Amino acid sequence: MTTHKDRLSAFPVFLRVEDRDVVIVGGGAEAFAKARLLAQSSARLVLVSGRFDADYAAWAAIEGARLIEQAFSPTVLEGAALVFAATGDEAADRAVVEAARALHIPVNAVDRPELCDFFTPALVNRAPVAVAIGTEGAGPVLAQMIRAHVERLLPPSLGALARLAETYRGAVERLLPKGDARRGFWRDFFDGAPARGIAAGDTVAARAAADRMLERKAAARAGHVALVGAGPGAEDLITLRAQRLLMAADVIIHDALVPEAVVALGRRDATRIAAGKRKGCHSRTQDEINRLLVSLARQGKRVVRLKAGDPLVFGRAGEELAALREAGVSHEVVPGVTAALAAAADFALPLTLRGVSSSLVFTTGHDLGGDTLPDWARLAIDGATVAVYMGRSVAAGVAGKLIAAGLSPDTAVAVVENASLPTRRLLHGTLADLPSLEARAELAGPVMTIIGDAVAGADFAHSIPLAARAPALPEPVPTGDAR
């Protein structure tokens, strides 16, 4: 809070006077001084006096000011933006002041602060930059001293630099996001190579420097979204590229399936947003995520959209990519190790096997509605290996459809929960056993199911049977071996 005595009784403003009349009444030194000051603006000067000093009249002619050589009459003030009473005679000044006030035109009476509606500042002019110094009429000499200081402080080329800046305003607003990036550009502009170019009188060099700076900053700061595969969960199954992007990201938006240890590979000060998307608890809708990606990029953020496995496999990347494309946001995709590959690796299971299986299907049990045979059932019968994502809760449906389609109930099946992680669990069995998966409530992590004859080539040393007769409930203490 300012105390009352700190308050200005006259508030400084910059008044638009371009192409407007400013009337100065008086023909002597005081009027001449004001006319000179006003001539620094693009106001139209109207000079009124019964008698002009010769040097003043000569100057006015050169300036192109309008001279009205007649005694003051109120009609000369009509339409003026400002009026100056500078006759040197108190009664005459007072008459001008009254006439101006009658017309509601702000008026200044030279050296008579008590008659003034406004004061003229001591002016440092680097048009379009101006520094106006005011003392509310209290100390014109003080104002002039300050002016001398400021004159020394501001390079003569400042005006030209500011004019050049005006020509970059639009481009800067278009290319650089509000905030640090834009401020940084202007700081470098007024302090760096463009300023030096202008100071040296080399506008071409100044422009070239400003262009380069803008291009560099725009490229560096334009927002960018990377759809990054986090891999199946193990921190060391992420790609080097994904890791590099994570370390450069301002914002990391991750799915619930991505473990904390992987998210933690990002910069400590990056903003982390959990996008949810765990089955059954969608904390954000896909639309919300799409909008968030676009808006963060438009703020100039480097965004990593971190998805489990590979972003292009059951990751709804298609919708996010479409939103980014439509918004014209720069983006890229970084592949990751998809769950099927991690699960196969855990089982040392050849997904393709010479003479047995030569194609691989990535599918989900989730679109198994109705009685129609899924389009991949045919492939399975022809020997394809089938990797079922999000398949735990629909295991019976998948098995039933495949058996109904003619696939042998004895076809080998491998199931991996938490593939690649220390907490992984491996189960094996046949297609006939698969429905039992639905009852295994202890499988709380993500589950991958792989079906096909190639599965028979896996290593079952670390897996337990999936068989329906091996129930999920704890078995009664040792009466025998279920196997």
Distance CA 133, CA 146 (A): 8
Q: What is the DSSP letter of 212?
A: H
CA-nearest of 449, 437, 286 to 362 is 449
Pair 310, 336: CB distance under 8 Å: yes
Out of 308, 321, 324, 437, which residue is the one contacting ligand SAH (CB under 6 A)?
308
Distance CA 64, CA 127 (A): 20
Q: Does 345 bind ligand SAH (CB under 6 A)?
A: no
55 is catalytic: no
Q: Which of the stretches 110-118, 202-210, 348-356, 441-449 binds ligand SAH when contact is defined by CB under 6 A?
A: 441-449
CA-nearest of 234, 231, 226, 230 to 250 is 226
Whichever of 49 and 338 has its CB closer to ligand SAH, that residue is 338
CB of 333 to ligand SAH, least distance (A): 12
Q: Which of the stretches 205-213, 264-272, 436-444, 445-453 binds ligand SAH when contact is defined by CB under 6 A?
A: 445-453
Q: Does 313 bind ligand SAH (CB under 6 A)?
A: yes
Catalytic option among 21, 34, 217, 277: 277
Q: Does 310 bind ligand SAH (CB under 6 A)?
A: yes
CB of 278 to ligand SAH, least distance (A): 9
481 is catalytic: no
Q: Which of the stretches 1-9, 55-63, 124-132, 313-321 binds ligand SAH when contact is defined by CB under 6 A?
A: 313-321
Point out which residues pair with 47 in neighbouring strands: 24, 67
Within 222-330, where are the H helices?
240-248, 260-263, 286-298, 317-327
Q: Does 416 bind ligand SAH (CB under 6 A)?
A: yes
Q: What is the DSSP letter of 359?
A: -
Whichever of 22 and 339 has its CB closer to ligand SAH, that residue is 339
Query: Scanning the structure block, which residue is given the tokens 């965004």?
Result: 303
Residue nearest ligand SAH by beta-carbon distance: 309
Surface-to-core class of residue 7, CB atoms within 10 Å of its CB (0-12 exposed, 13-18 middle, 19+ buried):
exposed
Point out which residues pair with 130 in neighbouring strands: 125
CB of 188 to ligand SAH, least distance (A): 42
CA-nearest of 382, 387, 394 to 347 is 387
Out of 27, 194, 233, 429, which residue is the one contacting ligand SAH (CB under 6 A)?
233
CB of 364 to ligand SAH, least distance (A): 7
Q: Which of the stretches 73-81, 111-119, 246-254, 302-310 binds ligand SAH when contact is defined by CB under 6 A?
A: 302-310
CA-nearest of 259, 465, 267, 222 to 342 is 259
Q: Does 27 bind ligand SAH (CB under 6 A)?
A: no
Out of 448, 450, 454, 466, which residue is the one contacting ligand SAH (CB under 6 A)?
448
Q: Which of the stretches 55-63, 98-106, 307-315, 465-473 binds ligand SAH when contact is defined by CB under 6 A?
A: 307-315
Out of 68, 92, 373, 390, which residue is the one contacting ligand SAH (CB under 6 A)?
390
CB of 192 to ligand SAH, least distance (A): 46
Distance CA 139, CA 119 (A): 12
Q: Does 397 bind ligand SAH (CB under 6 A)?
A: no
Out of 121, 223, 315, 397, which residue is the one contacting ligand SAH (CB under 6 A)?
315
Whichever of 209 and 253 has its CB closer to ligand SAH, that residue is 253
Catalytic option among 21, 250, 255, 433: 255
Out of 116, 419, 454, 455, which residue is the one contacting ligand SAH (CB under 6 A)?
419
CB of 233 to ligand SAH, least distance (A): 4
Q: Does 343 bind ligand SAH (CB under 6 A)?
A: yes
Q: Does 176 bind ligand SAH (CB under 6 A)?
A: no
CA-nearest of 41, 38, 26 to 97 is 26
Distance CA 472, CA 123 (A): 88
CA dihedral 140, 143, 148, 153 (to 10 degrees): -170
* Positive or negative torsion for Cα 308, 312, 313, 319: positive
Q: Does 363 bind ligand SAH (CB under 6 A)?
A: no
Distance CA 189, CA 212 (A): 11
Q: Does 307 bind ligand SAH (CB under 6 A)?
A: yes
| The two structure tokens encoding residue 241 | 């590229």
DSSP calls for 423-480: T-EEEEEEGGGGGGGGG-TT--S-EEEEESGGGGGS--TT-EE--TTS-SSPPPTTS-
Q: How far is CA 346 from CA 323, 416, 424, in A?
A: 36, 8, 9
CA-nearest of 436, 432, 431, 425 to 464 is 425
Catalytic residues: 255, 277
Q: Which residues bind ligand SAH (CB under 6 A)?
A: 232-233, 257, 307-310, 313-315, 338-339, 342-343, 389-390, 416, 418-420, 446-448
